[in-house]
Amino acid sequence: MASGLRTGRMHPLPACGESAGWGAAPMTPATIVFALLFYAAFLVLVLGTGYRVWTYSRTPAPLKIPTTPAPTSRGGVALRLAREVLLFESLFKAGLWLWLAGWLFHAGLALVLARHLRYFTEPVWGWVAFLQPFGIYAGFAMAAGLAGLWVRRMFVARVRFISTPSDHLMLALLLAIALSGLAMKFVAHTDVVAVKAFFLGLMYFDWQPLPADPVLYAHLALVALLMLVFPVSKLLHAPGIFFSPSRNQVDDPREHRHLAPWAARLDPRKN
């Protein structure tokens, strides 16, 4: 995509003249709505998730309960967590199709998110530029993974049994984000230069107008919704795994006395 990549300037003003110039187009109501929406969504996402993570970190794990066999060193635990987060090791043991759909979706999501950094950085970072072409396949992988997961949730009896409306809605939300994003790439191009200007404008408090594109509006609104629900949803599994005692504890209870503060405070004669 054109000028956004080439310019070395810090100012969000695009080099090409055809896009909205500095103060040349009116600040649309949509721009104001989305600007406020994203500020709010960002705050809710960061503060809300930050708060949950803080409560996880403050809650003690008084007993050694790693699922054994477990690593006996902290380095080993780091490797175990890395294998979980990058390869979905435990899920692989659970079943090939579920692992494939889940991994495909998440790997796709990771690449898509990385590629989207280009809208928030100026100049675009080297490795983000490098990822550009892969991002396209990632978008399809993401949608395919999500579709596979949703079909499974609808048609496999035991998964259907445990599904709440929010489980289906979350898949719908993510799929709609993926499809609207792919649509802007392949079906109805949007003015990404202006989009980048808009987001950089939010970051530097120098608002730029958002293109009046319904698919873009849908995509952005859905993303904002995702950000808003993240801290009160099952998406907390993302930070949560790092605090899961069955995965993050070192298996060395005979070698080191593991004692939570509240356990240590029990009967002083005993402790």
Partner 1 sequence: MAAADIKAPPLRADPGAPQALLPGAMAASKPYVANDKMQQALGFPGELVDGWQEKAIGRMGELLDKYRSLKVYMDACVHCGACADKCHYFIGTQDPLNMPVARQDLMRSVYRRYFTLPGKFFPGLVGARDLTKEVLDQWYNYYNQCSECRRCSVFCPYGIDTAEVTMAAKEIMDVVGLGQKYSNEIIGKVHRIGNNLGLPGPALADTLEGLAEDVKEETGEDVRFPLDEKGAEVLLVTPSADFFAEPHVDSLIGYAKVFHAAGIRWTLSSHASEAGNFGLFIGNYDQLQKIALRIREAALELGVKRIVVGECGHAWRVAYSYWNTLTGIGAGGDDPFARMLQQQLDSRYRQPTHVCELTWDLIERGALKFDKDANDHRVVTFHDSCNVARASRMGDAPGGQFEIPRAIIRAVANKYVEMPRGTTREQTFCCGGGGGLLTDELLDLRVKGALPRMEALSQVANAHGVNFMATICAICKAQFTKVLPYYGFKMGMVGGVHQLVSTAIRLGDQH
* Cβ(167)–Cβ(210) below 8 Å: no
Judged by CB under 8 A, does residue 65 bind partner 1?
yes
Type of residue numbered 6? R
User: 64, 123, 148, 203: which one contacts partner 1 (CB under 8 A)?
Assistant: 64
Question: Among residue numbers 4 through 63, which ones bind partner 1 (CB under 8 A)?
Answer: 52, 55-56, 59-63
Query: Please, which of residues 128-187 interact with partner 1 by CB under 8 A?
Result: 156-159, 161-167, 169
# binding residues, partner 1 (CB under 8 A): 64
Structure tokens at 47: 């503060």
Residue pair 151/105 in contact (Cβ under 8 Å)? The answer is no
* Least distance from partner 1 to the Cβ atom of residue 83, Å: 11
> How far is residue 78's CA from residue 242's CA, in Å, rounded to a whole number?
10
3-state percent breakdown (helix, strand, coil) of the chain, nearest 5:
70, 0, 30
Task: Give min distance, CB of 165 to partner 1, in A.
Answer: 5
Nearer to partner 1 among residue 91 and residue 131 (C-beta): 91
- Choosing from 50, 75, 214, 253, the residue that interacts with partner 1 (CB under 8 A) is 253
- Residue 34 or 88: the one with the smaller Cβ distance to partner 1 is 88
For residue 46, what are the CA distances in angstroms to 113, 129, 177, 235, 240? Answer: 16, 26, 20, 13, 15
The whole-angstrom separation of Cα 187 and Cα 1 is 16
x/- letters, 208..237, toward partner 1 (CB under 8 A) = ---------------------x--xxx-xx
Among 42, 134, 217, 243, binds partner 1 (CB under 8 A): 243
Compute the C-alpha angle 57/61/62, nearest 5°.
145
CA-based torsion, 171, 174, 180, 182: positive or negative: negative
Binding site for partner 1 (CB under 8 A): 52, 55-56, 59-65, 67-72, 84, 88, 90-91, 93-95, 98, 102, 156-159, 161-167, 169, 229, 232-234, 236-237, 240-241, 243-247, 251, 253-259, 262-264, 266, 270-271
